[in-house]
Structures are given as C-alpha cells and as structure tokens.
Amino acid sequence: MTSKLGTRSLNPKRVAVLSGVLVIALLLDLFLKDVVPDSSIRQLLMLAACNVLVALSLNVINGMAGQFSIGHAGFIGIGAYTSAVIASHLHQSFGGGEPTFARSFIVVPSCMLASASMAGLFGFLVGLPSLRLRGDYLAIVTLGFAEIFRLIIATAHADSASGSGPLARIGAAISSLGGQNGYQGTDNTGIPLYAGPFWIVGLVALLGVVAWRIKFSGWGRALRALREDEIAAAAVGVDPTRYKVTSFVISAAGGGIAGGLMAIMRDGLGIVNPDNFNFQASFDAITMVILGGSGSVTGSAIGGVFITFTVKAIELLQGSSVVQDLRRSFDWLDLNALRMIIYAMVLIALMILRPEGLLGERELFGTKRS
C-alpha cells in the first residue's frame, strides 16, 4: 500500500503539469510587463485571477454546502487588511526601496498565511450560527458581519483611541488602518506591491486543485449530502456541526487569501479602502458562483473571469463618447445607475437562458462523477 501511495503521489503526469504551471507563472512574472505594456490591462488580468479565487472559495460554502452566505466581502477585506499591514511592516524592516522578486518569497507567503488564518478565525466565529440558522436567516447574519467589519474600520478615528486600556489599544490599532481614507502603508506612501503573476497564477492553480479535490472527495460528497437533505445525511453518519463550520472556515480562508493578494498585487493601487468590501462586492462574488454554476469548480472560475471583464466593459462603456454626450444632454442621467442597469440586464438575460448557470454542477473537463 505504501508503495502504491508513493507512486500515485509522484505520478509523472502530475509532476509535469505542476512544473509547467510553475514555469508559465515564472515567465509571466518576468515578461508580462513587456508583452502587455499597459499597466491597467495587467491590473485587470491579475484582478480576474484574484476573483477566480473569490469565486472558488465562496463556492465551497454556497455551492457545495448549500449555506447561503452574502457577506463574503468581509472575509476578503480581513485578508486584504491583514496582508497590507504585514507587507508594509516587512517592507519597512527590509529598509524600504522597490519590492523585489527575491523578497517576495518572504513577504507573500507570510501575508497569505496570516490572511488565511485571520479570515479563517472569523469564518469559524461566523460559522457557529450556521448550526442553528439557514436560508435567509443565515444570509442576514453573514451580511451583518461584513457590514460591521466595514463600518468599524470606516468610522475609526485616531482621536477616539484615547486611554491606555485594552480597548484603547484595539481602537488605536483599528484607527491606524486609515479609516475612510484607506490604509496606505506604515508611512502613508502606499502598500508595497510584492504579489506578481508568479504568486497570483501559482496560487490560483494550487487552490483550484484543492477545490477540485474537495468536491470529488468523500468530504465534498458529504457537504452536498447536507445541502440536499441534512436530516438524511445525519442519519447516515455525516456530522452537520463539523461539516458546516469547517466549510465556513475553508471558504473564509480562501476569501482571505484572495483579498490578501488584491492588497499587494503588482500594478495595484497600493491602498486598501473599506468601501471596496461593501455589499456590492459580496453580490459580485455570489453572481460569479451562480453564473458559472453553483457547485462547479470550473464554472466558478469562469464566472469570476466573466464578471471581472463584464464590470470593466461596462465601465469603459460608461466613459465612451456616446454616453458622455448623453450625460451632457441630460443632466439627470446617473452613470453609476446606468452601469448597474446594464449589469442587471446582463444577469437577467443569462438567468433566463441558463437558470442553472453556465455549467450547472458539471465541470468543463474530466470524467469523474460527483
């Protein structure tokens, strides 16, 4: 048995695929700037990859476990702030300067580990109510958590953190995150951007494999059994408490990693703002999962890319000369409202044509059955 397991783990095909992904990620890190000179396009590509992680992580709880969470932006925000703070302090300890690829092997793993741990901890706390709540009630709890997180940071002020007790120290730590103006590093000159294509593409590939293995493992089948009929699943030995809470922790940790990458993403803005993690961000994440196909790993990835480029296309349409001419002709025309109207129309059309999402619960490739 040992030799069989060892042979399976060292499958030449898997080693070749892994090596190929690492080589591609390294080449992208070294030459993407030359191939794509426009930094805004590079930023869009990296954001799409990060949104794939957002969709994959939310798919664990919403798609596989059937627990309706609409506060995923809270976990993404926790990961983003955690990563930004750690990267800024590590960068300062290095003496500043330009972020280098060599330093990233210290900074990025440290940030990702901390982001996943912090978001996973809050996922555990939020997952506890899932033992008693489901459906709309659970959705309200997760939404409330995300809004509380965002508002605590957005409304924090330095002058409100007076005193020397534990609460004062916590208040001072929260106020140091910049409040409504956002966090821009320890010296307010911007967050050091260490996460290039090597780390982003590599982590997307790695966590994509993890999500795939979760779905087609006995653990993933148990999750889907709970989703379909919790009483019947419990009757055959599936522990609802263990599986529900664990799925929340995994989903939250994945969201934390996605947020952590967004905060220190190369070609990013170098700032983490609480408004980036509002209800709209959670809604976008849910849309990625539903459009791609709830429970489908590859469908979630497609949904993440689709929504990222759709939102960007609408923003470009917003700035077109035709729309600007309309804005000058009709002062009452709200461009942000127009963007949301177009976005909603796209979603309605897709839901009418494909109510189960692009793939349903199927996968784009592979012959394994769930």
Question: How far, in whole angstroms, is CA 268 from its chain's centroid?
Answer: 15
Asked if residue 8 has pLDDT above 50, the reply is no
First CA to last CA across the chain, in angstroms?
25
Residue 272 is classified by DSSP as B
Collapsed DSSP state (helix, strand, coil) of residue 37: coil
Residue length of the chain: 370
Q: State the pLDDT at residue 58.
A: 93
CA distance 176 to 165: 17
Residue 219 CB partners (closer than 8 Å, separation 6+): 243
CA distance 185 to 109: 18
Find where tokens 């330093």 sit: 103
The closest alpha carbon to 131, from 247, 221, 218, belongs to 247
Lowest-pLDDT range of 114-123, 142-151, 339-348: 339-348
Burial class (CB in 10 A: 0-12, 13-18, 19+), 89: middle
Asked if residue 369 has pLDDT above 60, the reply is no
CA distance 114 to 90: 13
CA distance 271 to 85: 11
User: Can you spell out the DSSP letters for 155-205?
Assistant: T--GGG--SSSHHHHHHHHHHTT-GGG-B--TTSS-----B-HHHHHHHHH
* CB 212, CB 364: distance < 8 Å: no
Q: State the pLDDT at residue 368.
A: 47
2 phi, psi to nearest 5 deg? -60, -45
Q: C-alpha angle 312/73/106, rounded to 5°?
A: 90
Lowest-pLDDT range of 20-29, 48-57, 72-81, 358-367: 358-367
For 154, the enclosing helix (H) or strand (E) is helix 136-154
Q: State the pLDDT at residue 114.
A: 96
Q: What pLDDT digit, counting tens, does each position of 146-193 carry? A: 999 999 998 876 555 555 667 777 777 888 888 888 899 888 888 999
Q: What is the pTM of this model?
A: 0.87
